[in-house]
Amino acid sequence: MSHRRPQTILSDLGFPESIRWRDGRVWLCDWGAGEVPAVDAAGEREVVARVAPDTIPFSIDWLPDGRLLVVDGPRRSLLCAGSDGTLAPFADLTGFGPSPFNEIAVAADGHVYVNGGPGLIVGVAPDGTVTQLADGLRWPNGMVLIDEGRTLVVADSHASTLVAFDVASDGSLSSRRVWTALEDAPDGICADLDGSIWVASVPGCGCVRVAPGGDVLDRVDIDRGCFSCALGGDDGGTLYIGAAQWRGMEAAMSEGPGQTGRLLAVPVRASSSRSDPVQRFARLVLREGHHPLGQLLLRGHGSQCTVGPRSDGQVRTWTGAARTGDLGFHPVGCPDLTGRNTVPVAPTNQGAETRAIETDVGPCTINYRRVAVAEVADRPSCIATT
pLDDT of residue 286: 39
**DSSP per residue, 100-155:** PEEEEEE-TTS-EEEEETTTEEEEE-TT--EEEEE---SSEEEEEEEGGGTEEEEE
- Angle at which helix 277-287 crosses helix 291-299, to 10 degrees, equals 150
What mean pLDDT do residues 331-345 have?
29
What pLDDT is recorded for position 270? 63
Nearest alpha-carbon partner for 107 in 58, 147, 162, 164: 147
Which pLDDT score, from 0 to 100, does residue 346 have? 31
In this predicted model, which residue has the larger pLDDT, 335 or 60?
A: 60
- Residue 84 has a pLDDT of 86
Residue 335's pLDDT band, with cuts at 50, 70 and 90, is very low
Instruction: Tell how strand 87-92 and strand 101-106 pair up.
Output: unpaired
Q: Using one digit for the tens of pLDDT, what is the confidence trace for 277-319? A: 444 444 444 343 333 333 223 222 222 222 222 233 332 333 3
Q: What's the pLDDT at 201?
A: 97
- Listed range (48-52, 65-69, 156-160, 377-381) with the worst mean pLDDT: 377-381
Pick the closest to residue 99 from 137, 70, 61, 51 (CA basis).
137
For 367, residues 6+ apart whose C-beta sits below 8 A from its C-beta are 348, 349, 352, 353, 354, 383, 384, 385, 386
For residues 336 and 312, what is the distance between their CA atoms, to the nearest angstrom? Answer: 12
**β-pairing verdict for 238-244 and 120-124:** unpaired
pLDDT at 371: 27
The pLDDT-based confidence of 3 (bands split at 50, 70, 90) is low
Query: Confidence band (pLDDT; 50, 70, 90) for 271?
Result: low
275 vs 344, residue with greater confidence: 275
| Mean pLDDT in residue range 6-17 | 95
Judged by phi (left if over 0) then psi (alpha if -120 to 50, else beta), residue 23 lies in left
Ranges of H-type helices in 269-386: 277-287, 291-299
Cross-sheet strand order for the sheet of 382-385: 353-358, 363-368, 382-385, 374-376
- Average pLDDT (66-88) is 95
- Report the phi/psi class of residue 234: left, alpha or beta, with left for phi > 0 and alpha for psi in -120 to 50: alpha
| Contact (CB, 8 A) for 19 and 2 | no
pLDDT of residue 67: 94
Neighbouring residues of 208: CB distance < 8 A, sequence distance ≥ 6? 182, 184, 198, 199, 201, 216, 218, 219, 220
pTM: 0.73
User: pLDDT-based confidence at 39, cuts 50/70/90?
Assistant: very high
Q: What is the CATH class of 7-272? A: mainly beta
Q: Tell me, what's the pLDDT at 2?
A: 53
Return d(Cα 322, Cα 314) in angstroms, integer: 21
Backbone angles phi, psi at 366, to 5 degrees: -100, 120
Mean pLDDT of the chain: 75
pLDDT at 73: 96
- Per-residue pLDDT at 211 exceeds 50: yes
Residue-wise pLDDT for 127-162, tens only, equals 999 999 999 999 999 999 998 899 999 999 999 999
Confidence band, pLDDT 50/70/90 cuts, at residue 171? very high
pLDDT band, residue 361 (cuts 50/70/90) = very low
Distance of CA 237 to the CA centre of its chain: 15
Share of the chain above pLDDT 90, in %: 58
**Per-domain boundaries in the chain:** 7-272, 276-385
Q: What is the pLDDT of residue 258?
A: 84
| Percent of the chain's residues with pLDDT above 70 | 68
